Structures are given as structure tokens and as C-alpha cells.
């Protein structure tokens, strides 16, 4: 019985997240459109509201092309690896008090582990396509993920120190429901490092090197088409959402808001996540792209030392104050 | 399978040197600005050797021009740099006029200067748009197209075409400008500075933009001259060479403008040069509007497609259809002065030169086009070597090439 | 300096290589023998007071159809300009035999590389000591030199690459692909369906 209930919950979560992903693309296209003095999708439905559905249907029915010389099993598995890894991190995210599928004590670590796994999907996709552009994209992704995973992990150590737990619900509870309780203020350095690493981790502008369309012609997904391409796309957006949620949970006080909302407790959480998403999109419309070596410079020479400094600072403060 | 279909396209695979591998960029690639192909030898992402290959768009314009009369040859120049076709038309007309000693009325000179500068703004806006897009700044791309659209609409109003104009004529221009056109152009000039500010806010001091452009693709002045770079690519390296100042043609001697110079010869210097040129072009257009004198727009001795009143009986007598009469009219002109001449004009991409040999007949004996894009692509190998793939993309954008002109 | 004065100095420096000089529409040209072309251009480039540091254009000419007397079969024309001193001159090197060719000036202007390749490509004039003399605009297996006067405007024959491509199309036609590229058995969308 309990398992059945769990499955129902999983299905509901899956559906809701997929709908969010679909409408996140709509959200992005509309916002970027208006920032760039154009309208974005307008044709399918009122103001293009049905566009994501149309896109989904289209990519589902498109021909699935597998290059002749591709490494077939890996080529087929790569997008699935990406998607599964990203989806499983959803299980540990608490959307509101008690609204979590698996309230495990190492929630934060689990999310890290899963997001590193997702990058295997990208690397394998680049490798197995048997195309030099894809290969370069895969290589870039590998280097990028390795460097930014470290700074990202380190940037959250401060939060762990303050909260004294790796359980995401516990981290939110530790921040309390007051505005000043949010870790954004005491952990501003950590938040800065986390935010930049988050952009790099999700391959967003200005760190979209693995898929830089003007250099590598879409990089690792050059050879993918139809549904497989759409799966990469979904994985990227779920990744964005997961990262935005982590940011919300660890720095912005999770589901707490100025006043509790009856019937739909996750409202504040969702709003905060969408705030993050908006910033993602805003940055995409504004900034050019870093170069490969400059990205490495930024990661290793700036973010990692900063994150380390943040840990030392936090630890000292905590030791002094308690 | 037997031998590959297009064997000449095969790049020899380097023999087992471990890290080296070859990558072919183009001819279909979003950042090669048309059908340019670049064969790269890479070590990781570092470029060991870079071999640009052109010719995919070769239409034999020089050969075609030899079989057409001077007036007919004009339409071929539209197909050179199709982004700034007006500037090519003007360049061709200036060259033919000097070759055949044809005079141009002052009003036509001003109008040609005006449309050539409008063309320069168009071309530079497109350059900025694609250059920024190549480096990843997507919004600038659409902002630039917004302003370019206004200019293309103006061109459409002027001559009915948005891409291939053929508006200037040997000895003048085809149609006079209207008061409505001038007022629309004035409106554009009034808003243009604020739009320029918008682009500059987005990228001018952007940290990432600076990181991608400062110190990348450096060319010293000496090197630039030896490589034959012209236009903003040469001026970005600090060499003061602008044909509009050095050998003024049309009304450039009569208007006041400055030639912006860079110092470092890197991508950023070239970028700043072109941005300043946009301001200067707007200034020239403003002066052309203010000083535009009244008078005729076609000279008396123009061998032209414009139908002068005196020509109509000849058409009626000589031909069964209007078109055939027109062709007959064009063919019947001459004889012309024999001799050779090289005339260069400053088009947005650099120095566009026409070398003509006339043997006295109504067709050029030889027409050679010195196309800046061809020479810039030739120089690319020297500039991009040792950089990263991402720098090559930035360099291609910065050299501002167009393949129609390069391949001819 | 006046272009004519430069031509006179050039004549004094290389008395037996200069064939003649003339001015047309204000532009001075020097017709020279091809043998010492590199020396002439180097002298023009490096002599004080002349400093022709900008090679504006380099092109070949086929003289087969010209009426003037005493012209060689080919010519290579160099248009030079001095960016610092603002004067220009044209050097026309008379080349009798395209195969024997003329010396390359890549050592003076590295940008001449592609210009010489282009001249070789379209006119078949060889440039000796050129680092990489290949066709540039046309495919490597192109037959003939299009800008020669005896080359017909529409070309003599189809390019072999094109005939091969057409043969390949024919070969694929046997498998019954329709013009839209659909495999046999797979019904092509009827015309009414397409927008």
C-alpha cells in the first residue's frame, strides 16, 4: 500500500515537473523575446501558450537519426543517463514542510552526486557520436564540470556548517521563517560562488561552452535529433530547476515566506525558484560567452580560493559565536 | 563504396603524431559567415595550422564583365558584397567614370556619398550583430537588425530594392531623392546615437567581451600592410589609410569627417574603430542632407539605362520590343577611350579596387576586382595560428568578410 | 613625389629592364621585363622617398585579344601605393610564357600569396618560388584557365566533379527515391497536404 502511494506521488511529481519544464522553455522564449524587442512564440494558442506542447509533439514524431559510425549502445544511453540523473535529484527536494519524496539525511550530497552523474551523459554523448564537434563539446563539458563541481561543493560547506546538517529540510528549518535568518546574508560569499558555479554546472550562458552553437554547432548534441535531443533539453531544464531549488533551499529560506499560504504551502518555494530561473534567462540575454581557458582560470584561480576562504571564515565565526 | 564523391575535399589525415587532429569548419557552419571552409589542424583546442578554403561561391564575375557593356556590368557588382551592395555600385561607377572620362553632376555626387554611407552603416550593423553573436551576445544581434531594417526600408523607398540595388549609374544616379526620403533619413539620424549607446552599454565595457577581444588576434601595423589588410582591420593597427581621405571621390572631399584609428591591432581595436566609423558615417550623411545642392542627377555623357528623351526615337526605330531596344541602345554607345586604370574606393570591408583595361570598345577588355574579403581571408591563417578555436571564431567576425565578394 | 618622377628614377635604376612608361588619366604605369621583378618591387618598397609599402592589387592579364602592338602574351599587373607618402604607381610585367612564369613577391608582401594563387588559378601564370601554388577559387581538378581569352564564356566542358555527381544521382535513382528523397514504398506526401 505504501509503495503504491509512493508511486502515485512519483507520477504526480514527474508530471508536475515535466509541465514546469515545458513552460520554463516558454517562459524563457517569451522573456528573451521581449528583452530582444520581439514577441517570442505567438502562433500556437493564445500568445503562443500551447507552443511547448506543440514542440513536444513535434520532437516526439521526428525521425530519430543515429549516425552510422556512432557507438550505438552508448549513443542511445547517453540522453537517458542525463535525464535519469537529473530526475532522481528531484526526489530529495523538500518543496514544503513534509512535501518530499525521500527525506534522507545526505540530501545535499545526493544532489551533488546526481548532478555529476548527469555530466557523464554529456561526456558519453560527445564521445559516442563519432563527430569531432560533439567530441570537443564532451571534452569541454568534462573539464568544466570537474572544475566547477569543486567550487560548488565548497561553496555549500559554509551552509552545512551553519545548519549542522546535510538534510535539506533541516537546512531550511535552521534558517527559520524570519527574513534575517536566511543564509543569503551570513553566507553572501558562499552564495556568490554558488551562483556562478550553478551557471557553469547547468551549461548556461556565459558558460555554455559545451554547446556553444557558433563554435561547436551545438557541441555534444550535434548528432542527436528528435526525441533524444528533446531529452537532453529536458535534462538541462530539470538541471536548472534542481540548481535553482538548491539555491532556494540553502540560501533563500526554502518554503518560508513573509506569511504562510493556506492550501498550497510550496508557493513561496516556487516563486523563489522562478526568481532564479528569471535571473538565468536575464543573464542569457545579456552576456557573451567565456573562452574555454578563461573559464578554467575563473574556476580555479578565483572561485575555489574564495570558497575556501568562505569555509575558514564561517568556521571561525561559528567557533567564536558558540 | 569506391572513391568518395568529392575527393578534392578530403583533408589528409596527419600521420600518427598523437595529439594532432584535423577539424573541418564549414562550408556549413554558423560562424563562418557564408560558405567559407577552414581546415584546422588542432592540438586539443589550440590551432596548429589553419587553411581557409574559398571558391564555393565563385561565379566568374570578372569573366562575365568582359562580355557585358560597362552599364550592364553594374549589376554584377551588386553580387559582390551583398551586405553593402550600394558601396560596390558606387565603387564601380567611380572607376568606370574615371576610365571613360564621364562627368557627374554635383547633386548625384552628394546622393551617392549619402547612400554609400548608409550602406556602410548597414554593413557595420550587420558586422556588429554577427560578431557579437559569434562571441555569444545574442541580444546585440537583434538590436542591430532593428536599426538595419529602417535603413533597408529607406533603400526600398529610394530604389525599390533591399539587397541588390543597382541604384547608382555611370555618370549619376538613377532616381532623385524625394523630400519624404530625406525626412525619414533625418528621423533615423536623430535616433541613431541613442541606439548606438544601447549597443555600447551592452558590450563596450562588458568584462567577458573585453576578455574575449583585448589582446586577441593581434596584428601590428607592419604586418597588416604586408598582409594587405585594409579598412578597419588596417586602421585598428594604427595605420592611417582611408581612401576617402587619401584619394577622395564623389563628395568625400567636400564633407568633414574623421578617420578613427586604433592602436593595439587586436579585435577590440578593430571593434572600436568600426563603432567610431558608425558615428562618422552618420555625420557624413547629415552633412550630405544639409549641403545637398539642386541640379540634374545624371551627367550628359552617361552611357546609361536611364532613358533620355532623345533616345526614344532610336528605340522605336531599331527594335521590336522595348527590352531589345534598350539593349541596342546600350550596345551602340562608344567608341571609348582606350587605356587602363586602377580606382579604389573605401567600402565597409576595406579597399575595393577595380582595375580596368579598355580597348576602346563598349566592353571592358579586362576587369579585375581587388576584393578586401579575399585578401582578409588569405590573411586569416597568419592571424589565427596559435590561438584557440574560439579565438578563430572571434577573428573571422572581426575581419568582417563576406564570401560573395571574396569568391567573385 | 610625382608618379612620373618615380618612373624616371626607376628607369635610371634599372635601365635595361624598363620597356616603357606612360600616363593615362593621371595614373603612371611602367612596363617592365619580368626577370628582375622582385628587385624592382623591393626597390620601390624600400627606397627612401618612394616607400611603396602597400600592394593594392596584383592581377594577370591575357593580351591575346588586344590590338596594340608589341604586347607580350600575358601581363602581371602590380598596383602599388605608399600609405605614408600618398603616391602610387603601376608596374606591368610582360610575361611571354605562362608556364615559365614570373618570380613570386610573397617575400615582400605576404598578402600576395593568395593574389598570386588566384592569378595562377584563373590565368595559368606560374609564380616561381611561391610557397603553395595551388588553385584557390576553382576546384583542384578544373581543366583550363577561365580568364584566358581563348576560354569560352560558358566553359568548354562540364567539370568532372559535376559529371560524377550527376552520375551518382543517376545511380541513386535506380533505388527509386522520389525527388523529395523518400525511399521506395514510403508514400510521398501528396501535393494537397503540403502548405
pLDDT single digits (tens) B260-311: 988 888 899 999 999 999 999 999 999 999 988 888 887 777 665 544 444 4
Measure CB to CB from residue A288 to each of B21, B209, B388 and give the nearest one: B209
Structural domain boundaries in chain B: 61-303+337-407
Q: What is the pLDDT of residue A103?
A: 81
Strand partners, C21: C30
Chain A: touching chains (3 or more CB pairs < 8 Å): B
Regarding whether C163 and C138 lie in a shared domain, the answer is no
The Cα of B25 is separated from the nearest Cα of chain A by a number of Å equal to: 9
Q: Hey, what CATH topology would domain B61-303+337-407 get?
A: Cytochrome-c3 Hydrogenase; chain B (1.10.645)
**For residues B356 and C29, is the Cβ–Cβ distance under 8 A?**
no
Mean pLDDT of B189-208: 88
What is the maximal distance between C-alpha atoms in chain A?
64
Average pLDDT (B235-264) is: 89
What's the pLDDT at B392?
87
- Residue C144 is predicted with a pLDDT of 84
* Complex prediction ipTM: 0.82
> Looking at the structure, do residues C108 and C21 belong to the same domain, yes or no?
yes
DSSP one-letter code for A299: I
Report CA-CA distances (Å) from B57 to A256, B37, B263, B291, B403: 62, 11, 35, 41, 7
B368 vs C: CB within 8 A: yes
Domain match, C60 and C98 both? yes
Model confidence at C185, pLDDT cuts 50, 70, 90, reads low
- Asked whether residue C118 falls in the same domain as residue C164, the answer is no
For residues C93 and C166, state if they share a domain. Answer: no
**pLDDT tens-digit profile, chain A (322 residues):** 788 888 888 888 888 888 888 888 898 889 989 988 888 888 888 888 888 889 888 888 888 888 877 788 888 888 899 889 888 888 888 887 777 777 888 888 888 888 888 888 888 888 888 888 888 888 888 888 888 888 888 888 888 888 888 888 888 888 877 777 777 778 888 889 999 988 888 888 788 877 776 777 777 888 888 888 888 888 888 888 888 988 888 888 878 877 777 777 788 888 888 898 899 889 988 888 888 888 888 888 888 999 999 889 888 888 888 7
Query: B96: pLDDT confidence band, cut at 50, 70 and 90?
Result: confident
Residues B180 and A123: their CA atoms lie apart, in Å, by 59
Q: Mean pLDDT for chain B?
A: 82
The answer to whether B240 contacts C83, with C-beta atoms less than 8 Å apart, is yes
Query: If you ran DSSP here, which 8-state letter would residue A302 be given?
Result: I
Give the pLDDT confidence score for residue B303 in this predicted structure: 63
**Comparing B15-24, B54-63, C64-73, C149-158, which segment has the lowest mean pLDDT?**
B15-24
Is residue B2 very low, low, confident or very high in pLDDT (cuts 50, 70, 90)? very low
CB contact under 8 A, A294 and B21: no
pLDDT at B99: 84
Least confident of B51-60, B322-331, B354-363, C150-159: B322-331
Q: Quick one: C104 and C79 in the same domain?
A: yes
Q: What is the pLDDT of residue C84?
A: 86
A321 shares contact with chain B (CB less than 8 Å): no
Q: Which residue in B has a C-alpha nearest to residue C111's C-alpha?
A: B227
The pLDDT score that the predictor gives to residue C133 is 86
Q: Are residues C107 and C171 in the same domain?
A: no
Per-residue pLDDT tens over the stretch C78-136: 999 988 888 888 898 888 877 778 888 888 888 888 999 999 988 888 888 888 888 88
Cβ-based contacts under 8 A for chains A and B: 74
Q: In sequence order, which residues have a C-beta less than 8 Å from that of residue A238 and are 6 or more positions away?
A: A17, A21, A83, A86, A87, A90
Chains A and C touch (3+ CB pairs under 8 A): no
Tell whether C96 and C166 lie within a shared domain.
no
Report yes or no on C142 lying in a domain.
Answer: yes
Give me the pLDDT at residue B321, please: 45
**A37/B142 CB distance under 8 A:** yes
For C163, nearest residue in chain B (alpha carbons): B5
Size of interface B-C (CB pairs under 8 A): 112
Cα A263 to Cα A260, A267, A268, A272, B46, distances in angstroms:
10, 10, 12, 18, 58
- Model confidence at B14: pLDDT above 50: no
Q: Which residues of C24-54 are buried (b: 16+ CB within 10 A; e: fewer)?
A: eeebbbbbbbbebbbebbebbbeeeebbbbb
Residue B334 contacts residue B351 (beta carbons within 8 Å): no
**What pLDDT, on the 0 to 100 scale, is given for residue B117?**
92
Same domain, C109 and C39: yes
pLDDT digit string, tens, across residues C167-181: 888 887 777 666 666
Count: domains in chain C: 2
Residue B355 near residue B342 (C-beta atoms within 8 A): yes
The whole-number pLDDT of residue B119 equals 92
What pLDDT does residue C182 have? 62
pTM above 0.95, yes or no: no
Does C16 share its domain with C56?
Answer: yes
Do both C30 and C111 map to the same domain?
A: yes
Kindly determine whether residue B240 and residue C165, on different chains, have CB atoms separated by under 8 Å.
Answer: no
- Which of C28, C31, C54, C155 to probe by mutation at the B interface, max B CB count within 10 Å? C54
Which residue range(s) make up the domain with C170? 158-188
What are residue C36's DSSP bridge partners?
none
Q: Do C25 and B339 touch (CB under 8 A)?
A: yes
Do both C119 and C183 map to the same domain?
no
Q: How many CB atoms lie within 10 A of CB C177?
A: 15
The pLDDT score that the predictor gives to residue B126 is 92
Q: Which residue has the higher pLDDT, A177 or B176?
A: B176
- The enclosing domain of C58 has a CATH number of 3.30.460.80
Do B341 and C24 contact (CB within 8 A), yes or no?
A: yes
Residues of chain B above pLDDT 70, percent? 87
Residue pair A50/A42 in contact (Cβ under 8 Å)? The answer is no
pLDDT for the residue B6? 34
CA A153 – CA C53 distance, rounded (Å): 59
Amino acid at each position: 500500500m505504501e509503495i503504491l502511494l509512493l508511486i502515485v506521488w512519483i507520477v504526480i511529481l514527474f508530471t508536475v515537473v515535466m509541465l514546469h519544464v515545458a513552460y520554463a522553455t516558454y517562459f524563457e522564449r517569451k522573456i528573451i523575446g521581449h528583452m530582444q524587442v520581439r514577441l517570442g512564440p505567438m502562433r500556437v494558442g493564445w500568445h503562443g501558450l500551447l507552443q511547448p506542447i506543440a514542440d513536444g509533439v513535434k520532437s516526439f514524431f521526428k525521425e530519430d537519426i543515429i549516425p552510422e559510425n556512432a557507438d550505438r549502445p552508448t549513443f542511445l544511453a547517453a540522453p537517458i543517463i542525463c535525464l535519469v540523473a537529473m530526475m532522481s535529484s528531484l526526489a530529495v527536494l523538500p518543496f514544503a514542510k513534509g512535501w518530499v519524496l525521500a527525506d534522507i539525511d545526505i540530501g545535499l550530497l545526493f544532489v551533488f552526486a546526481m548532478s555529476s552523474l548527469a555530466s557523464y551523459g554529456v561526456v558519453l554523448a560527445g564521445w559516442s557520436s563519432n563527430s569531432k564537434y560533439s567530441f570537443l563539446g564532451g571534452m569541454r563539458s568534462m573539464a568544466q564540470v570537474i572544475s566547477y563541481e569543486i567550487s560548488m561543493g565548497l561553496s555549500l560547506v559554509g551552509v552545512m556548517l551553519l545548519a549542522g546538517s546535510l538534510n535539506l529540510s533541516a537546512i531550511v528549518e535552521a534558517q527559520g521563517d524570519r527574513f534575517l535568518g536566511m543564509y543569503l546574508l551570513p553566507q553572501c560569499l558562499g552564495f556568490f560562488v554558488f551562483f556562478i558555479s550553478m551557471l557553469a554546472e547547468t551549461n548556461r550562458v556565459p558558460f555554455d561552452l559545451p554547446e556553444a552553437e557558433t563554435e561547436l554547432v551545438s557541441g555534444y548534441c550535434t548528432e542527436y535529433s528528435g526525441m533524444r535531443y528533446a531529452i537532453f533539453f529536458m535534462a538541462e531544464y530539470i538541471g536548472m530547476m534542481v540548481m535553482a531549488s538548491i539555491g532556494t533551499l540553502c540560501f533563500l529560506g526554502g518554503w518560508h515566506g513573509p506569511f504562510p499560504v493556506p492550501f498550497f504551502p510550496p508557493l513561496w518555494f516556487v516563486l523563489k525558484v522562478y526568481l532564479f530561473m528569471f535571473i538565468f534567462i536575464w543573464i542569457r540575454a545579456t552576456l557573451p560567452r567565456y573562452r574555454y581557458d578563461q573559464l578554467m582560470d575563473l574556476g580555479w584561480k578565483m572561485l575555489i580560493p574564495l570558497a575556501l576562504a568562505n569555509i575558514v571564515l564561517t568556521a571561525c565565526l561559528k567557533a567564536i559565536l558558540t | 563504396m569506391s572513391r568518395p564523391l568529392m575527393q578534392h575535399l578530403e583533408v589528409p589525415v596527419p600521420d600518427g603524431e598523437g595529439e594532432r587532429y584535423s577539424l573541418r569548419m564549414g562550408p556549413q557552419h554558423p560562424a563562418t559567415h557564408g560558405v567559407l571552409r577552414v581546415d584546422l589542424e588542432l592540438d586539443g583546442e589550440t590551432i596548429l595550422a589553419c587553411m581557409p578554403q574559398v571558391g564555393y561561391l565563385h561565379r566568374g564575375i570578372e569573366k562575365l564583365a568582359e562580355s557585358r557593356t560597362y552599364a550592364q556590368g553594374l549589376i554584377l557588382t551588386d553580387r559582390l558584397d551583398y551586405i553593402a551592395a550600394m558601396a560596390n555600385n558606387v565603387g564601380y561607377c567611380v572607376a568606370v567614370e574615371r576610365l571613360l572620362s564621364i562627368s557627374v553632376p554635383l547633386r548625384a555626387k552628394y546622393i551617392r556619398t549619402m547612400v554609400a554611407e548608409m550602406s556602410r552603416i548597414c554593413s557595420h550593423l550587420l558586422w556588429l550583430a554577427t560578431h557579437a553573436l559569434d562571441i555569444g551576445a545574442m541580444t546585440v544581434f537583434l538590436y542591430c537588425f532593428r536599426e538595419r531594417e529602417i535603413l533597408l526600408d529607406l533603400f526600398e523607398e529610394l530604389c525599390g530594392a533591399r539587397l541588390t540595388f543597382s541604384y547608382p549609374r555611370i555618370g549619376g544616379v538613377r532616381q532623385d531623392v524625394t523630400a519624404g526620403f530625406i525626412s525619414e533619413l533625418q528621423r533615423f539620424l536623430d535616433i541613431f546615437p541613442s541606439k548606438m549607446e544601447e549597443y555600447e552599454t551592452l558590450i563596450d565595457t562588458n568584462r567577458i567581451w573585453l576578455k574575449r577581444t583585448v589582446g586577441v588576434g593581434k596584428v601590428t601595423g607592419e604586418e597588416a600592410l604586408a598582409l594587405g589588410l585594409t579598412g578597419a582591420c588596417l586602421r585598428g593597427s594604427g595605420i592611417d589609410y582611408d581612401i576617402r581621405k587619401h584619394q577622395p571621390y564623389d563628395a568625400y572631399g567636400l564633407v568633414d569627417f574623421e578617420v578613427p584609428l586604433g592602436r593595439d591591432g587586436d579585435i577590440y581595436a578593430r571593434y572600436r574603430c568600426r563603432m567610431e566609423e558608425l558615428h562618422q558615417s552618420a555625420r557624413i550623411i547629415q552633412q550630405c542632407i544639409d549641403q545637398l545642392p539642386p541640379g540634374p542627377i545624371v551627367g550628359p555623357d552617361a552611357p546609361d539605362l536611364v532613358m533620355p528623351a532623345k533616345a526614344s526615337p532610336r528605340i522605336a526605330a531599331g527594335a521590336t520590343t522595348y527590352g531589345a531596344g534598350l539593349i541596342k541602345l546600350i550596345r551602340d554607345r562608344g567608341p571609348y577611350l582606350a587605356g587602363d586604370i586602377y580606382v579604389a574606393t573605401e567600402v565597409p570591408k576595406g579597399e575595393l579596387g577595380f582595375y580596368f583595361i579598355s580597348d576602346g570598345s563598349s566592353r571592358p577588355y579586362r576587369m579585375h576586382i581587388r576584393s578586401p574579403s579575399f585578401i582578409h581571408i588569405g590573411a586569416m591563417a597568419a592571424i589565427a595560428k596559435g590561438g584557440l578555436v574560439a579565438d578563430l571564431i572571434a577573428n573571422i567576425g572581426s575581419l568582417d568578410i563576406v564570401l560573395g565578394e571574396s569568391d567573385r | 613625389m610625382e608618379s612620373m618622377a618615380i618612373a624616371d628614377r626607376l628607369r635610371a635604376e634599372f635601365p635595361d629592364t624598363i620597356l616603357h612608361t606612360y600616363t593615362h588619366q593621371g595614373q603612371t604605369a611602367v612596363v617592365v621585363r619580368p626577370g628582375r621583378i622582385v628587385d624592382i618591387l623591393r626597390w620601390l618598397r624600400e627606397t627612401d622617398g618612394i616607400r611603396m609599402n602597400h600592394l593594392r592589387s596584383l592581377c594577370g592579364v591575357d593580351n591575346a585579344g588586344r590590338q596594340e602592338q608589341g604586347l607580350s602574351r600575358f601581363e602581371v599587373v602590380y598596383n602599388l601605393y605608399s600609405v605614408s607618402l600618398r603616391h602610387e604607381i603601376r608596374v606591368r610585367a610582360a610575361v611571354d610564357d605562362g608556364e615559365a612564369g614570373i618570380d613570386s613577391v610573397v617575400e615582400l608582401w605576404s598578402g600576395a600569396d593568395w593574389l598570386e594563387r588566384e592569378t595562377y588559378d584563373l590565368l595559368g601564370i606560374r609564380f616561381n618560388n611561391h610557397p603553395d601554388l595551388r588553385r584557390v577559387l576553382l576546384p583542384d581538378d578544373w581543366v583550363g584557365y577561365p580568364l584566358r581569352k581563348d576560354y569560352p564564356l560558358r566553359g568548354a566542358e562540364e567539370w568532372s566533379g559535376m559529371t560524377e555527381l550527376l552520375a551518382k544521382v543517376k545511380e541513386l535513382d535506380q533505388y527509386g527515391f522520389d525527388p523529395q528523397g523518400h525511399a521506395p514504398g514510403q508514400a510521398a506526401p501528396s501535393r494537397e497536404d503540403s502548405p
